[in-house]
Structure 1
Amino acid sequence: MTQQPADGYDVVVIGGGAAGLSGALMLARARRSVAVIDAGTPRNAPAEGVHGLLGHDGVPPAELLERGRAEVGGYGGHLVSGQVESVTRQASASAPPGEVPGFVVTLADGRTVEARRLLVATGLVDELPQVPGLRERWGRDVVHCPYCHGWEVRDRAIGVLACGPMAVHQALLFRQWSADVTLFTHTLPSPAGQEAEQLAARGIPVVEGEVSGLEIVADRLAGVRLADGTVVGRQVVAVASRLVARAAFLAPLGLRPVEHPSGIGEHLPADATGRTDVPGLWVAGNVTELSAQVGGAAAAGAGAAAQINADLIAEETRRAVAAHRDRAPFSAATEARVSELVTGNARHGL
């Protein structure tokens, strides 16, 4: 069940995956007004189950998110369906001097929501090589992460499609789950030197030549087809997608994805707490940590939320101190005058 957004919140969370919902849960339990804006396009939707998540191993992704939404709603958090179009600053005049101006979040349908702080947890997009069949079978028998899918494809004939600098590393990883692993160079040069030696030592053959498609029999992957027509029998294809953060809507704030140091894609940089260079804006999950699994993303969301709550408390305390100081001289003068009147009345027997 989703709701219409209110005019303003302490925190707006953009993204309703594990990181966003975990952050919203933490904030709602901290008695913050919080809204989660979710476009409803989770990255792991094609997968049958979430794996490696303690206590929830194998749970369908949709079920895990539904549980999370119910928990956030149970603490008063709002769940809003919508695609965020842009994020801008509120007018600086709306914030007291020395404080961080809030944000205006504009949705694709024209709705706007104001927030004192933002937590962006929109995840990423997997950009796959332009090989027919890969996208259609993504999350089934075309996989990317051995820690997410390795157990499920164990002992099968696995083909690793080289499409980036981590291809050999990926092949060596999948070798842990199967003794039948083949590396397809596709459009990249054949491994040489130490990498070639490592592959040979682990019994991983290398097939050169561009891959033109997948061989499907009875809705099952049966092989990898090369441009020359050769078909190499495989039951699973592993491919390292290029990982790109979903963050175009932050451009008005000057925050854009940059190349990840590992060379696997683009992310939004942040410090260890998720704080970005934009005051008042935190990030969590795959939008900043491209390789984070569901458990790590959820933990990052909770951690960022705690930092946001502490930041708001610090701001509210500064306001309270300023107000207290403004009242103090008046209170002292009033107290002195009352004391004087009481003393005078006593002298006159009143």
Structure 2
Amino acid sequence: MRETYDVVVIGGGAAGLGGALALARARRSVLVVDDGRPRNAPAGHVHNYLTREGTPPAELLAIGREEVAGYGGEIVTGRAESATRQQEGFLVELADGRAVRARRLLVTTGLLDELPDLPGLAERWGRDVLHCPYCHGWEVRDRRIGILATGPLALHHAQLWRQWSPHVTFLANGTAPDGQEAERLAARGIAVVQGSVAGLEIDDDALTGARLASGEVVGLDAVVVTPRFTARSGVLESLGLKPADLEVNGHVVATQIPADPTGATSVPGVWAAGNVTNAMAQVITSAGAGLTAGAMINADLVEEDARRALEDYRSRAGTTTADAGEA
């Protein structure tokens, strides 16, 4: 690690590496600080990523790191704790005591999936406990899918996952769909199982069903839950940025850091991209957002470089801004 970089990227997932690649190719000095906790680590493969369909997440990151390093970008393992503004940019402090300066920051720290507290659920997360049909629907097509009513979007998910399988069961888990919703479920052949879910049944390292409090076991091949998506926003909050609630159909489902379409936040010199600012973004979306933010950061630095060069040019020429205007 050198003392100062043009840009420090905090977070080395798809968004961070996408931004770092754009910046490194723009001949910027770039450091990526990554704590090695990718959100999609439990998943077997990345999907809906054009030309990379089915790539294991770790392999995709390894390819991205190699590409960034190939253009001179640096990557270091560590956890950024905070960032503070200084006269010439920012000071980023790492958990191990190291610190590094940057003219600009790109924060791509992602989010945390807060799962329901149910025995066996966390262990199967990303394997046969799922949440996104676009990420996993094809892999469980025509299988027995249980929709666990743990959030306000459970009924919506039951209808959505019905696109991938005719064998969808709504696990009411102590709730009761109203008359209209029950009719909608019945119309599409979605069975409703009453009773609270006590845990998951696992046999030979595979999900086999959901166990109700009554002891009954509902045979299933996959269980769908709705996590609470919480932005990993500690570094951004140290700069005064606060996460905002994301509402879907009037229900809060996530927190995320507000940013404009380019990733620029309300703090000058700080950009954010990926799930930390867009909780619904998939891997390819996050990579694209990182690229956009990287290009905008470079453009911002070009403007600063041009201003500084002009000031230096006029100083060496013995002219002032006013003199140049009169000329």
- Normalised by the length of structure 2, the TM-score is 0.93
What SS does the aligned partner of 2:247 have? coil
2:55 corresponds to which residue?
Answer: 59
Structure 1 regions of 5+ residues with no counterpart? 96-101, 332-350
What SS does the aligned partner of 1:264 have? strand
Question: How far is 1:200 from its partner?
Answer: 1.8
Q: Does residue 133 of structure 1 match 2:129?
A: no
Number of residue-to-residue matches in the alignment = 317
Q: Aligned partners of 2:263 and 2:182: how far apart in 1?
A: 39
What SS does the aligned partner of 2:278 have? coil
Q: Aligned partners of 1:279 and 1:13: how far apart in 2?
A: 15
What SS does the aligned partner of 1:31 have? coil
| Alignment of structure 1 residues 183-198 onto 2, 5 Å | 183-187=170-174, 189-198=175-184
Is contact 2:107-2:236 (8 Å) kept?
no
| Alignment of structure 1 residues 1-350 onto 2, 5 Å | 5-90=1-86, 94-95=87-88, 102-187=89-174, 189-262=175-248, 263-329=252-318
Q: Aligned partners of 2:318 and 2:79: how far apart in 1?
A: 50
Residue type at the aligned position of 2:271: W
Residue type at the aligned position of 2:20: A
Larger CA Rg, structure 1 vs 2: 1
Question: How far is 1:193 from its partner?
Answer: 4.6
Is contact 1:85-1:106 (8 Å) kept?
yes
Shift of the 87–167 alpha-carbon distance from structure 1 to 2, 3 Å rule, reads: same
Question: How far is 1:330 from its partner?
Answer: 5.3
Is contact 2:8-2:104 (8 Å) kept?
yes
2:324 corresponds to which residue?
Answer: none
Shift of the 107–191 alpha-carbon distance from structure 1 to 2, 3 Å rule, reads: same
Q: Aligned partners of 2:4 and 2:319: how far apart in 1?
A: 34
- Normalised by the length of structure 1, the TM-score is 0.87
Is contact 1:248-1:256 (8 Å) kept?
no
Percent identity between matched residues is: 61
Q: Aligned partners of 1:6 and 1:196: how far apart in 2?
A: 62
**CA RMSD of superposed structures (Å):** 1.4
What SS does the aligned partner of 1:53 have? coil
What SS does the aligned partner of 2:12 have? coil
What SS does the aligned partner of 1:105 have? strand
- Structure 1 residues 172-181 or 256-265, which shifts more? 256-265
Residue type at the aligned position of 2:257: L
Question: How far is 1:212 from its partner?
Answer: 1.0
Question: How far is 1:328 from its partner?
Answer: 4.0
What SS does the aligned partner of 2:23 have? helix
